[in-house]
Amino acid sequence: MAQLPPGIRFITSFSRDQWYRAFIFSLTFLLYASFHLSRKPISIVKGELHKHCAASHEVELDSYKEYAAQIQPLKKPFNTSQCGWEPFDKSNYKQLLGALDYSFLCAYAVGMYLSGLIGERLPIRYYLTGGMLASGLFTAMFGLGYFYNVHNLWFYIMAQIANGLVQTTGWPSVVTCIGNWFGKGRRGLIMGIWNSHTSVGNILGSLIAAYWVSTCWGLSFVVPGVIVAVMGIVCFLFLIEHPKDVSCSCTPSSSSKTFLNGTSRYRIQMPTLNAKENGKLQQDPEMQHLLTDSENCSVSLNSSTVVSGEGRHGTSAISFLGALRIPGVVEFSLCLLFAKLVSYTFLFWLPLYITSVEHLDAKRAGDLSTLFDVGGIFGGILAGLISDRLEKRASTCGMMLLLAAPTLYMFSTVSKMGLEATVVMLLISGALVNGPYALITTAVSADLGTHKSLKGNARALSTVTAIIDGTGSVGAALGPLLAGLISPSGWNNVFYMLMVADACALLLLLRLIQKELQCDADHTLFKEH
C-alpha cells in the first residue's frame, strides 16, 4: 500500500471539529479586519484634506477657484483649493477634522449599547451581513464626495455618523461567534492572536488608502467600502454561528487551568483525575463557567456550578442592568474607556502627527504609521500569553498600562530626534497601548460573558461584550476630539493628555488587581495547609 502524500497526511491529522474551528477562526478574523480596514482611511486622508500653504498665495487661490469653476463641467471634479479640500482648507481645519472623528465615534459608542441587545435577538449571520453591506455603502459614500465635488461639511459628517452606527454590528457578533466555538483553555493566547485582526485591518487600510491618497483620495474610501461589502457577502455564505449547527462538539478539549479575572475564578478539571479525588464524577471541562469568589477565593470543584450548555435558543436574553451586575463588568468597562481613548487617538491622529514632526507627505506618513499597529499585534499576543501564564487578567493589563505612560512621554521626545528613533518608539508604544485594549475586549469580555450567574446563557455574551466595548467607545470618541482641540496648543499637550488617560485606566483596575493578588495569596495558604 502506497504511503499517503505529505499534504494529505497533514489534512487527515486534524479532526473535522478542528478544521471547522480553524475555518471560523480565520473567517471571523477576516470579517472584523475588514471593518478596521474601512476605518483607517480617514486618518490617512487628513493630510490631503488640508495641505499647508503660504498665506502669500491667497490672490492666486482666488483666481484658481474662478478657473476651476469655469472648467468644472468639462473635467472631472478636483480639489478647488491649494490648501486642501474645502471646507477643510481653513485655519480651523483641526477642529473640522476632529468633528469627523467625533461624529463616527459618538455614533459608534451610542450604537454599541443597542447593538448587543439587538444582536442577541437576531441570527448573527444575518445581523452581521446587513451591517457589513451598510458599512461598505457609507464608507464608499465618503469617497464619492471627491468624485461629485462635494464641499459641504454636513455631507461628510452624516456619512461618518451612519457608518459609525452600522459598524456596531461587527464586534458583538464576531466575539459571540468565536466564544461559541472556543472554550476557556488558553483563551488569552487564542484571543490575543485572533484580536490581531484589529492591527492587520489598520495596516491594510493604511496601505490601501495611502496608495491613492495623493492622486485620487476618493478611492481611498471607495475601495475599502467595496472590500467590506464583499466580505459581508462572504459572511452570509459561510458564517456558522454555533458548532451545534454542524454537529460539532461545543468546545475543544483543554488541559487543566485556573483563571483569575480579578473577580472570578473558574477551574477546569484534568481528564486524568478520578472521581474519588474530586468527590464527584468527571465533567466536561468546558461546561464549567466562571465561579464567583467574592466570599472565598479558593473554590473547590465540588462547589462548581455546571450547566448543560443546552437551551441556546430557549434561554431569554439578559437585561442591560443584569449584565452590569456581573462582577468586574463595570471596572473593566471604565478601564477600557481610557485605554481606548489612547488607542484611537493614535489611530486617527498619528499620520498627521508624523507629517507635522517628520515633515513627510501623506503617503509616507501613512506607511510609517502602520508600525504602531505592527507593535499592537505583538502587544495583544503578549498580553494574552502573560495573562494565561500568570492567570491574572487585571494584573496583566495593569502592568502594561504602568509601562505605557512613561513610554508615551519618551515617544513625544524621541520622535523629534529622527526617523530611526520614531520607528523604534512606534513599535514599543503600539505594543503597550494596544495590549490591554486587546485583552479587555476579547478574553476578559468572554470570561465575564460566561459568568456563573448567567447559568449557561450563551446569548448574554453579546450584551456583555457590547457594554464593555460600548463604554470603551465613549473614550474612543473623546480621544480624537480632545486631540483636535488640544493639538493647536502643541503636540506635547496631547501626549500629556494620553498619559493622564493611561494613569486613570490603571487606577480603575487597582481593586481588581488587589483582589487577584489576595486570591493568589489565599490560594497559596490553602495549599500549604
Model confidence over 40-74: pLDDT tens digits? Answer: 899 888 878 877 664 434 434 444 444 444 444 43
Containing 292, the helix (H) or strand (E) segment is strand 291-292
Distances from the Cα of 187 to the Cαs of 7, 240, 246, 339, 408, in angstroms? 29, 20, 23, 21, 29
Model confidence over 478-505: pLDDT tens digits? Answer: 888 888 888 888 888 999 999 999 999 9
The position carrying cell 478542528 is 18
Distances from the Cα of 377 to the Cαs of 340, 418, 420, 429, in angstroms? 15, 24, 20, 12
Within 8 A by CB and 6+ apart from 260, the residues are 391, 392, 393, 394, 516, 519, 520
Q: 483 with 345: CB under 8 angstroms? A: yes
- Judging by beta carbons within 10 Å of its beta carbon (0-12, 13-18, 19+), is residue 214 exposed, middle or buried? middle
Phi, psi of 510 (to 5 degrees): -60, -40
Stated length of the chain = 529
Q: 490 with 204: CB under 8 angstroms? A: no
The b/e string for 144-181 (b: 16+ C-beta within 10 A; e otherwise) is: ebbeeebbeeeebbbbbbbbbbbbbbbbbbbbbbbbbb
Measured between alpha carbons, how far is 248 from 18 in angstroms, rounded to an integer?
9
Average pLDDT of the chain is 77
> Residue 261 pLDDT > 70, yes or no?
no
Q: What is the pLDDT of residue 318?
A: 64
> Residue 311 pLDDT > 80, yes or no?
no
Nearest to 326 by CA among 455, 175, 230, 235: 455
Q: What is the pLDDT of residue 181?
A: 86
Q: What is the pLDDT of residue 419?
A: 78
Q: What is the pLDDT of residue 481?
A: 81
Whether residue 406 has a cis bond before it, omega within 30° of 0? no
Measured between alpha carbons, how far is 162 from 424 in angstroms, rounded to an integer?
37
Q: What is the pLDDT of residue 349?
A: 82
Within 8 A by CB and 6+ apart from 406, the residues are none
Find the distance separating the first CA and the last CA of the chain, reported in whole Å. 60
Secondary structure in 3-state letters for 89-117: CCCCHHHHHHHHHHHHHHHHHHHHHHHHH
205 grid coordinates: 487600510
Q: What is the mean pLDDT of residues 301-322?
A: 47
Q: What is the mean pLDDT of residues 315-337?
A: 77
Phi, psi of 377 (to 5 degrees): -60, -50
The angle subtended at Cα 181 by Cα 230 and Cα 187, nearest 5°, is 110
The b/e string for 223-245 (b: 16+ C-beta within 10 A; e otherwise) is: bbbebbbebbebbeeebbbbbee
Q: 441 with 449: CB under 8 angstroms? A: no
Beta bridge partners of 267: 258
Extended beta strands in 162-218, E state: none
Measured between alpha carbons, how far is 340 from 436 in angstroms, rounded to an integer?
9
Say whether pTM exceeds 0.85: no
Q: What is the pLDDT of residue 403?
A: 93
Measured between alpha carbons, how far is 322 from 317 in angstroms, rounded to an integer?
10
Q: What is the mean pLDDT of residues 147-157?
A: 93
427 grid coordinates: 513599535
400 grid coordinates: 502594561
The domains of the chain, with CATH numbers, are: 13-49+85-241+318-526 (1.20.1250.20)
User: Residue ranges of the alpha helices (H) in 121-183?
Assistant: 124-147, 153-166, 170-181
